[in-house]
Structure 1
Amino acid sequence: MTRIPYEPSGEPNPLRALTLDRLRRRTSMKWRTYPEDVLPLWVAEMDVPLAEPVVRAVTDALALGDTGYPAGTAYAEALAAFADERWDWDGLAVDRTAIVPDVMLGVVEMLRLVTGPGDPVVVNPPVYPPFFPFVEHMDRRVAEAPLGADGRIDLDALEETFRQAVADRRRAAYLLCSPHNPTGTVHTAGELTAVAALADRYGVRVVADEIHAPVVASGGRFVPYLSVPGGEHGLSLMSATKAWNLPGLKAALAVAGPGAAADLARLPEEVGHGPSHVGVLAHTAALREGGPWLDALLAGLDDNRRLLADLLADHLPTVTHRPAEATYLAWLDCRALGLGDDPADTFLRRGRVALSPGTDFGTGGAGHVRLNLATSPEILQEGVRRMAAALA
């Protein structure tokens, strides 16, 4: 039976559970990068307590002293069951997975499998900022195929970039962000099928960062790249990190389509030593038992998306955005405010609210900011109030 994206779970909204005073006791990047008078709405950490199954898995492991090296396939089995239930995808084969330290380090390892030094890696800017330095630091070069004006993949631009990428007979890869960060676009099955056809035509290997896959707005539907016709030669990176707020518990899975199984089999054995065993336990528990908590979070995020739209209309009517179809991020076009390429700087200096500068996201990011709305309605309201006050 097909399950709707999420259903009322009876769980309380985790976005309403923590006060600002309690959040400021945290010592992670979000809360310690800026002075205490700055309201942080930037990096992708959520202002939520952890789901109870995750807490139990971690505390049980600590009580047992179960803090050794990761082993087994429980994480992959949990992800396969989650994919079947949530995305109607039964094609995630446990024997075509490997644990990796986290999604971005997994991306690096997958790119090493399918490209060589100096080869191009295609991206769709504006896009997740670490794509650029991670690719460049592994001695590959970034090739841009910017998103269209509608925030979606421009297939004509992608084809031209693919054509140029392989013109000198180099190997090339396409680093697909799905759902897309920062726009929150959910790529459709038709779009992904077209991508797969282009990749096959030009011999470009697709590596998909699907870390935000579980965080889709009501009525939306995430489509795994490996599930579409032609996607069988792709490689994907997935984890519970974004959906259950686990960036400090490092663990992710690389997943290969049937046509990429031989590539994944060449992954060095020592890569599997990098993930945290406790992280693997936490991610496994989230996927297996954290569904009701996730459903409550998704409902809360829907509420916050509507709230943000209302707040912008009331306080910053010339700031435009398309409510995200996925992720807990909002991509705000602030160009009409006349604040230059980096409006985040003005909001920080004058409003004491930290947002992610659009310029960090590459071509198309100038004049934009990314706002993290995974917080309480009260903090979201205060954040927009401070943004408006910065313009006074």
Structure 2
Amino acid sequence: MTRIPQDRPGGPAPLQALTLDRLRRRTSMKWRTYPEDVLPLWVAEMDVPLAEPVVRAVTDAMEAGDTGYPAGTAYAEALAAFAGERWCWDGPAVERTAIVPDVMLGVVEMLKLVTGPGDPVVVNPPVYPPFYLFVTHMDRRVVEAPFGPDLRLDPGALEETFRRAVAGGGRAAYLLCSPHNPTGTVHTAEELAAVAALAERYGVRVVADEIHAPLVTGDARFVPYLSVPGAERGLSLMSASKGWNLPGLKAALALAGPASAADLARMPEEVGHGPSHVGVLAHTAALRDGTAWLDAVLAGLDENRRLLTALLAEHLPGVVHHPGEATYLAWLDCRALGLGDDPAQVFLDRGRVALSSGIPFGTGGAGHVRLNLATSAEVLTEAVRRMAAALE
């Protein structure tokens, strides 16, 4: 019998605090895309109440009518303090940061600074589908350097891809997902230093999407790309959005290495008008005062990973799952179940569970699904039972 985690002393843990009935009152994408008989474990929203410091910051802003345009460096200062405490990193340098509307729009602006129309952008599939959408919509070419079978960076494949990307003499960029979505892989300091060395050797500019950085658990350690030797020309995007469940409060930070400060300075001023001022206030409060809440969420995610492993072994032993070290997402290999390239559709139609199809994640995605772990143990258990029933 699979054990369901219990609440901790002092009240329910964040992932256990909300009933399904309360969650269904939400009007966001996760809860309005499918009918009420579907369990939604797809898009990256967490089933949690907000951290109290975030609620207080937003409420205070409402009461003060503080709903104008964003200003100041408080967000960058809060991130710098969080990075120092959490990752033992003496960066980011506040003077080499800029607020942007969100991480993906920030990625677009960074790629505009270091590439031109038609230039290649390297990605590591299977990877977050908007990498493909945003890159192609801005008239760049996606070039794949697939992960190895161990779901880690493949230095040989990356070098060969870099070599091909710059063979015509043009500019190229590498859009690095760190930690990686959907696999939960946390790149090591050695792997990132190797990336930096390859990027310098071939003249490829690295833009790192590090939105999942706060969501690293267990013995793994997040290493900011800009902290490794040789990454001085790198650019990064960070945000409190994923760690504190704030996608509806838009704000993110662009960070520049010492040798790319001039590139960041060329970003158009109007980009900084796009973030929500209330979003900036919320993200600042999360980074500054929301670490206890974050730690409670991380503990719950660890429990849910163990629970998912046990549930799959009990109900869906044909599914291959390598628990990730970061994010609240699980990448499930369902190819042995005989459900074709898109098992997510089968689980939706027959089991009434909404998962993310692996196909849009690029090479290696067919036959896979991405499952959102950031829910209660009860919902997760029911979802796996429904998925198993879909095979009957």
1:91 deviates by 2.4
Q: Distance in 2 between matches of 1:292 and 1:9?
A: 15
Tell me how many residue pairs correspond in the alignment.
385
Confirm or deny: 8 A CA contact 1:123 1:176 kept in the other structure. yes
SS at match of 1:35: coil
Give the equivalent residue in structure 1 for 2:126. 126
SS of the counterpart of 1:139?
Answer: coil
Q: Distance in 1 between matches of 2:91 and 2:309?
A: 37
Question: Pairwise mapping of residues 143-292 of structure 1 onto structure 2 (< 5 A)?
Answer: 143-292=143-292
Structure 1: any 5+ residue segments left out of the alignment? Answer: 1-7
1:251 and 1:283 in contact (8 A); partners too: yes
Residue 173 of structure 1 aligns to a residue whose secondary structure is strand
Residue 18 (structure 1) aligns with: 18
User: Partner of 2:110 in structure 1?
Assistant: 110
- SS of 1:72's partner is coil
Give the secondary-structure state (helix, strand or coil) at the position aligned to 2:176: strand
Q: What does the per-residue CA deviation read over 1:342-370, in whole Å, with 9 as the maximum and x for residues that have no partner? A: 00010000000000000010000010000
Secondary structure of the structure 1 residue equivalent to 2:50: coil
Q: 1:184 to 1:11 in 2, by over 3 A?
A: farther
SS at match of 2:320: coil
The 1:28/1:207 distance shift into structure 2, 3 A limit, reads same
Give ranges in structure 2 of 5+ residues lacking alignment: 1-7
Who is 2:72 aligned against? 72
Give the match for residue 140 of structure 1: 140
1:323 aligned onto 2:334: no
- Structure 1 residue 12 displacement after superposition: 4.5
Equivalent residue of 2:259, what SS?
A: helix
The answer on whether the counterparts of 1:9 and 1:296 sit within 8 Å (CA) in structure 2 is no
TM-score for both structures, normalised by structure 1: 0.97
- Deviation for aligned residue 1:49: 0.3
Q: Provide the identity percentage.
A: 83
User: What is the alpha-carbon distance in structure 1 between the residues aligned to residue 188 and residue 71 of structure 2?
Assistant: 35
Tell me the residue number matched to 2:86: 86
Secondary structure in structure 1 of the residue aligned to 2:369: strand
Instruction: State whether residues 51 and 286 of structure 1, in contact with CA within 8 Å, keep that contact through their aligned partners in structure 2.
Output: yes
Q: Is the 8 A contact 1:11 1:292 kept in 2?
A: no
Distance 1:204 1:229, change over 3 A: same
> 2:3 aligns to what?
none
Give secondary structure in 2 for the equivalent of 1:215: coil
Quick check: 1:67–1:277 contact (8 Å CA) kept in 2?
yes
1:371 equivalent in alignment to 2:371? yes
**Any idea what the Cα deviations from partners look like across 1:40-95, whole Å, max 9, x if unmatched?**
00000000000000000000000000000000000000000000000000021000
CA displacement 1:162-214 (0-9 Å, x = unmatched): 00000001100000000000000000000000000000000000000000000
Deviation of 1:9 after TM superposition, in Å, equals: 11
Spell out, residue by residue over 1:327-351, the C-alpha distance to the aligned partner (whole angstroms, 9 max, x if none): 0000000000000100001000000
Show the counterpart of 2:302: 302
Look up the SS of the partner of 1:113 in the other structure: helix
Q: Which string of whole-angstrom CA distances, capped at 9 and with x for unpartnered residues, describes residues 112-167 of structure 1?
A: 00000000000000000000010000010100000000000111011011000000
**Which residue number corresponds to residue 391 of structure 1?**
391
